[in-house]
Amino acid sequence: MSNQEPEKSSKGVLIVCIISLIVSIIAGYYVQEQRKNVQTVQSDHCQKKKTGDTKRTKKEAEITPAVSVKSTQMPFAKGKVIVIDAGHQENENRQLEPIGPGATEQTIKMAAGISGVASGKKEYEVTLAVAKKLKVQLRKQGYTVVITRNENETNLSNRDRAQIANKAKADAYIQLHAAGSDNSTLQGAMTICPTENNPYCAQNYLKSKKLSKCIIQGVVEETECQNRHYWETDTLSEINWSRVPVTVLEMGYMSNAEEDLNIADARYQNKIVIGIANGLEKYFKN
Ligand SMILES: [Zn+2]
Distance 281 CA to ligand 1 centre (A): 25
Ranges of residues in the chain with a pLDDT under 70 are: 1-71
**Collapsing DSSP states into helix, strand and coil, what is residue 24?**
helix
Going from the Cα of 110 to the center of ligand 1, the distance in angstroms, rounded, reads 9
- What integer pLDDT is reported at residue 72 of this predicted model? 77
pLDDT digits (tens, 9 = 90+) for 79-102: 999 999 999 999 999 999 999 999
* pLDDT at residue 8, rounded to an integer: 52
The length of the chain in residues reads 286
- Of 193, 169, 175, 174, give the one whose Cα is nearest residue 243: 169
pLDDT tens profile 234-277: 999 999 999 999 999 999 999 999 999 999 999 999 999 999 99
Integer Cα distance of 79 and 132 in angstroms: 20
Residue 57 Cα to ligand 1 midpoint, Å, equals 30
Percent of the chain that is helix, strand, coil (3-state, to 5): 50, 15, 30
Residues 6+ positions from 189 with CB-CB distance below 8 Å? 216, 219, 220, 223, 225, 226, 227, 228, 249, 250, 251, 252
Distance 113 CA to ligand 1 centre (A): 5
Q: What is the pTM of this model?
A: 0.77
If you measure from the C-alpha of residue 176 to the centroid of ligand 1, how many angstroms do you get, rounded to a whole number?
Answer: 8
Residue 144 Cα to ligand 1 midpoint, Å, equals: 25
C-alpha 225/C-alpha 174 separation (Å) is: 19
Residue 5 confidence (pLDDT): 47
Locate the domains of the chain by residue range: 1-55, 65-285
- What is the distance in A from the centroid of ligand 1 to the CA of 123? 7
Ligand 1 mean position, distance from CA 107 (Å): 14
pLDDT of residue 14: 54
C-alpha 85 – ligand 1 centre gap (Å): 11
**Separation of CA 34 and ligand 1 centre (Å):** 59
d(CA 256, CA 252): 9
Environment of ion ligand 1 (residues, CB < 5 A): 87, 113, 177
Q: Rounded to an integer, what is the distance from CA 136 to the centroid of its chain?
A: 12
* Cα R_g (the chain), whole angstroms: 31
- CA–centroid distance, 186 to ligand 1, in Å, is 16
For residue 73, the model assigns a pLDDT of 84
The CATH number assigned to the domain with range 65-285 reads 3.40.630.40
